Structure 1
């Protein structure tokens, strides 16, 4: 019997190896952040076909998602406990038609995100129309400084607010982050070029009300291997649709998501 992570007491009398394997894979995803079939098979001491079947079940139940590089990442069932059920419903309802238009025009996948401390939470996804496209990230939680929506929302923070969010970040890395955020603020949008997933890149813009409060962000994401060809166009279309969306959000007030 292989043990990954702590156990509590002796194995149950009716020990189910397949269930234990799925639970260990969930722990590996939580702790390592990314997992390939070959790595999972090696860690568990099973065949790659067995590991693949178990990972497929985790995807089915939302404990994993499969990235465009065929690696597995933590899914929404592992990462969304900090958002109350139903929160953001009005924001999703208002943004959804604009996101549909955005994804239709760019042919790429769009996401609606919000910021909770230093994490980006994905509330909604509209799939692109390309045959090879970025999949849904709905329910996923990512480090804010490693995705375009998080970066453009962090750009609204003061230096002291940022330092409170990243107290352990070395000074030189903190200065680099502030430079990135300053560039994003000047451009009006942020770019993520494969920072979290090497094969996924995106551009993001802020959602604001009439008081200038940050309500969230909308992003357009594409496979990295074509992002450099399309991001200028995506940024242009994104900014136009976000301007229109912000007119519809002028009477919205910030929601406490945590």
Structure 2
């Protein structure tokens, strides 16, 4: 097996190949952001069945999650530990019934997420009722500019705040991001058409209190294959319920999510 990633000192006397493979796959997920069984097997020069067995254990322990296209992404054990325990419990309680209502109206999966820096942390999921649906995203972390809830929340930031979140983004790309966020504000909701996972698309809206503080975001996630036909209906349900939620949350002063030191 090809060795990838850093090593420290000589290999142990009782070298466990299967453990080393699993740890290497974790490093690859962390650094590459996604893996396929075939691609990892070719990179590591082992059989696909060997990689599949190790990846199944990583999914079981939360280090990986399998997308609808059978691509593996970093799981909650790799990406969500930066949120302090208990963050979002009040927000989840306030939003749960509305999320269930959106799911009942659309049949699609609804997510609640918060913005931490330029990343979105998924706090709660109500899975859709359709046989083919997007699975739970609870515990996952994704780039804010690559999912609809993140875009909806970023759209409420000023230019200076955005530049602080993306200090190294070239000017042309930064301007393109600002134009996308301006369209989101004008439209009233954000659209993600397969940005992070090509087989998953979504619409998203921002939750705000009466002071304009960003409390979180709600998304409706749809398999990309049927997104074009249902996204307007999903957006209508989403915007109706987020309007109601924003009225409900007018006086909310939740503690902003923070990162562990």
Tell me whether the two structures share a fold, i.e. TM-score over 0.5.
yes
Residue 163 of structure 2 corresponds to 163
> Counterparts of 1:79 and 1:156 in 2: how far apart (Å)?
25
Residue 224 of structure 2 corresponds to 224
> Counterparts of 1:40 and 1:166 in 2: how far apart (Å)?
31
Deviation at 1:136, TM superposition (A): 1.0
- The alignment partner of 1:82 has SS state of coil
Deviations 1:46-99 (A, max 9, x none): 111111111111111111111111110111111113210111111111111111
Deviation at 1:200, TM superposition (A): 0.8
Matched, 1:149 2:154: no
Deviation at 1:254, TM superposition (A): 4.1
Deviations 1:199-241 (A, max 9, x none): 1110001111122211000000101111010000000001111
Please list every run of 5 or more consecutive structure 2 residues that lacks an aligned counterpart in the other structure. Answer: none
Residue 56 of structure 2 corresponds to 56
Residue 80 of structure 1 corresponds to 80
- Aligned residues of 1:215 and 1:255 also touching (Cα < 8 A): no
| TM-score normalised by L of structure 1 | 0.97
C-alpha RMSD over aligned residues: 1.2
> Counterparts of 1:143 and 1:255 in 2: how far apart (Å)?
22
Residue 137 of structure 2 corresponds to 137
Residue 191 of structure 1 corresponds to 191
- Aligned residues of 2:90 and 2:254 also touching (Cα < 8 A): no
- The alignment partner of 1:128 has SS state of coil
Deviation at 1:102, TM superposition (A): 0.8
Residue 236 of structure 1 corresponds to 236
Deviates more, 1:7-16 or 1:127-136: 7-16
Q: How many residues align?
A: 258
